[in-house]
Chains A and B, each alone.
Chain A
Amino acid sequence: MWTHVQWEYRRQIRQNRSWVSLLVLAAVGVLAAVGYRQIDAQTALGSVLGLGLADGFFVPVVTLTVCNSILLPFFVVLVSAESISAERQRGTWTVLLAQGIRPWQVLVSKWVVCASYAGSATFVLVSASLAMGIMLYGWHRTLLPSGTMASTHDLAGFLAVMTVYTAIAQVTVASVALAIGSFCRNPVASVMLTMGGLIITVLMGDFPFLADVQKILLSGYFSRFVDVLSVPPNWTAMLQGVGVFGVYIILAWAFVAWRDPFYD
């Protein structure tokens, strides 16, 4: 299995798309930090995120909040959804199957690589905006909206938790995209299908009468990482989110196993 993963990594690394997308995400992180200065943060982002003007730590929080529903998933979907469909369209999938390689070995190796990309994309976005945020606004002990004073250590811990949470969310997006992509022969169609579904579910969050539906939608849990800033941190809400992500990953795999789309 490790051999499959190694070769999958090697192919992914050789693709310009992987590096270009990470560079774009880094640029977004930097631009978010710069642009943050230009807005009336308190008004635009509310009391919690508006604190970014007082501390560089809040810049990645804002960046994640803005990017975690559409932009970050877009890149993750771009890489994941077409991972199998591009192979099928190109014919390399046929070459692999004709060698007697089990489709599940390929799928698992692709999942590992796509999950790694999702984690890397999140890390790059957070790192770039944090670095730029600290450069522009510094990083100090900060008074949280709850009235609690948070040390720089506390802030670093909070940010680590938020990054991991977002990474898990993006791994879930990658899993769903990979599952959908395994049914498509056209990479563009698989990306559009996955992104279309994601955008619709995000937009559904704006309709109050769909509040019940939101509880089962993936996008409804993307921003739960902000709960770490509550005093005390709302771990229950975050764990609930992680649980939902886990269910989605299992459902994605189960659906692929059930439909078995690998052979013509």
Chain B
Amino acid sequence: MGTERMAIAVDVRHVSKSYGRNAVLRDVCLHVPAGSALGLVGPNGAGKSTLLRILLGVARPSLGNVWYNDRPLWPHPEEHLANVGGFVDTPWFYPQLTAQENMWMLADLTQKSRRRADEVLAFVHLQAVKHERVSGFSHGMRQRLALAIALMKNPALIILDEPQDGLDPARLNEMRHLIERVRRESGATLIMASHVMPDIEQLCDFIAVFDEGRIRYFGAPSQLGRGIISDEVFWEVSPVDSAIGCLAELGITARVTGSSCIVAPWDDQFDLGDVNRMLIKKDIVVRTVARRRAGLDVRLLTYLEDSHVDARSVGISAANSPE
């Protein structure tokens, strides 16, 4: 999908944004290295879309600025958006125009070739419906058209706001593959807000957890909630009571989840193999053992609940974004 070009490094420096008295972003600092992928996660109204609007030159920051490759984006965003593609909010188009006309119009207005517009339409699998008016498009088709518009400039920075919003599982999968392919082939920097945590985990090198206009966490998705949330281990055993007693001797608190199933939090202080051997040695029948890592969504929720307790200290770690 287009030739590789120098990706854009993004610096968000002390950006705040208020609408009237409503502070939406509060002193946000971020550094996104060129070529990396950042996922913005957090509850609705946390400020993710507002930050994306600022990055796309749609909303002006009240304080602070954004730097693309060490050049300030504001006050003249249009001068820096030649290699930036993306969309925010629910993407919408001119309903009286066809998909191709919408693309051609933007291609003409940004001095890109119409051929390129047709290429990206094919890339997002809208070739067959390109002559249909956008007013008749489904939500999924609109999302793909929005992605096509985002990619038309062969951008070095791609900014996507909930690209999987409202898609069915098949389309969700398709969208993930499209984004993955774009990143792989273009090497562009990606900044994406999403509520689809598996996609964030799969696509992004870093995540920034937003809450109440602040960044509560910045780092690798796998590290979110480390030390707060442990994995869980499930056993299918018999007899259950003996197994719980045996685990209790080791200081592991297990609970019954079914007629012959128990579950216990697991934080690597014991070797799971040793524990299983001990259970078997005590004549406990172990039929199944499974270790499950808490999903990003669970870790995110727990992390946010926890960070509310000590928001100030977590805020300090958020400022230490990777170089």
- Interface residues of chain A, those whose CB is within 8 Å of chain B, are 3-4, 7, 10-11, 14-15, 90-92, 94-102, 105, 263-264
Q: Which residues of B contact A105 (CB under 8 A)?
A: 109
Interface size on B, residues (CB 8 A): 34
Whether A14 lies near B88 (C-beta < 8 A) is no
Please, which residues of chain B bring their CB within 8 A of the CB of A95? 87, 91-93, 106, 149
Flag if B93 contacts A101 (CB, 8 Å): no
Stretch with Cβ within 8 A of A (4 or more), from B36-44, B52-60, B311-319: B52-60
Judged by DSSP, the binding face of A is helix
List chain B residues, Cβ under 8 A from A91: 89-92
- Shortest CB-to-CB span from B28 to chain A, Å, is 16
- A contact residues around B56 at 8 Å (CB): 94, 97-98
Q: Are A98 and B57 in contact (CB under 8 A)?
A: yes
Binary flags per residue of B109-127, CB closer than 8 Å to A gives 1, else 0: 1100000000000000000
Determine if B86 and A98 form an interchain contact, defined as CB atoms under 8 angstroms apart.
yes
A99 neighbours in B (Cβ, 8 Å): 81, 106, 109-110, 149, 153
Interchain CA distance A3-B60 in the complex, whole Å? 27
Contact A7 B149 (CB under 8 A): no
A202 to chain B, nearest CB (A): 33
- Closest residue on chain B to residue A105 by CB atoms: B109
In the bound complex, what is the Cα–Cα distance between A102 and B106 (angstroms)? 13
Q: How many A-B residue pairs have CB under 8 A?
A: 80
Q: Could you say which of A15, A98, A264 contacts B81, with CB atoms under 8 Å apart?
A: A98
B89 adjacent to A11 (CB under 8 Å):
no
Residues of A within 8 A of B58 (CB): 94, 97-98, 263-264
Contact A102 B96 (CB under 8 A): no
Select one of A3, A11, A98 contacting B96, CB under 8 A: A11
Beta-carbon contacts of B139-180 to A below 8 Å, as 1s and 0s? 000000000010001000000000000000000000000000
Given contacts A3-B108, A264-B59, contact A98 B92 (CB under 8 A): no
* 8 pairs from A and B in contact (CB 8 Å cutoff): A4-B109, A90-B92, A92-B92, A92-B93, A94-B53, A95-B92, A98-B57, A99-B149
**Max chain A C-beta neighbours (<10 A), residue from B80, B86, B109:** B109
Residues of A with C-beta under 8 A to B92: 90-92, 95
Q: Does A264 contact B91, Cβ atoms closer than 8 Å?
A: no
User: B78 interface residue, CB < 8 Å from A?
Assistant: yes
Residues of A within 8 A of B19 (CB): 264
CB-CB contacts below 8 Å: B54-97 with A: 56-60, 77-82, 84-94, 96-97
- The answer to whether residues A11 and B86 also contact, given A98-B81, A100-B78 and a CB cut-off of 8 A, is no
- Could you say which of B88, B89, B93, B110 contacts A100, with CB atoms under 8 Å apart? B110
- Judge whether B60 and A264 touch: CB under 8 Å: yes
- Distance between Cα atoms of A15 and B97 in the complex (Å): 10
A95 to B103, CA, bound (A): 11
Nearest A-chain residue to B82, judged by Cβ: A100
Q: What residue of chain A has the Cβ atom nearest to residue B75's Cβ?
A: A263
Q: Which interface residue of A7, A92, A100 has the most chain B CB atoms within 10 A?
A: A100
> A3 with B93: in contact, given A95-B149, A100-B84 (CB under 8 Å)?
no
Q: Is the pair B93, A97 in contact by a Cβ cutoff of 8 Å?
A: no
A11 to B134, CA, bound (A): 13
* B105: interface (CB < 8 Å): yes
Q: Pick the contact of A97 from B57, B101, B149 — CB < 8 Å? A: B57
When the two chains form their complex, are residues A263 and B60 in contact, meaning their CB atoms are under 8 A apart?
yes
CB of B108 within 8 A of CB of A7, answer yes
Query: CB-CB < 8 A to A14: which residues of B?
Result: 96-97
A101 contact set on B, CB distance < 8 A: 78, 109-110
Known: A14-B96, A95-B92. A100 touches B108 (CB 8 A): no
Q: Are B53 and A264 in contact (CB under 8 A)?
A: yes
Which single residue of chain B is at the shortest CB-CB distance from A89? B92
Residues of A within 8 A of B108 (CB): 3, 7
Contacts of B105 in A (CB 8 A): 7, 10
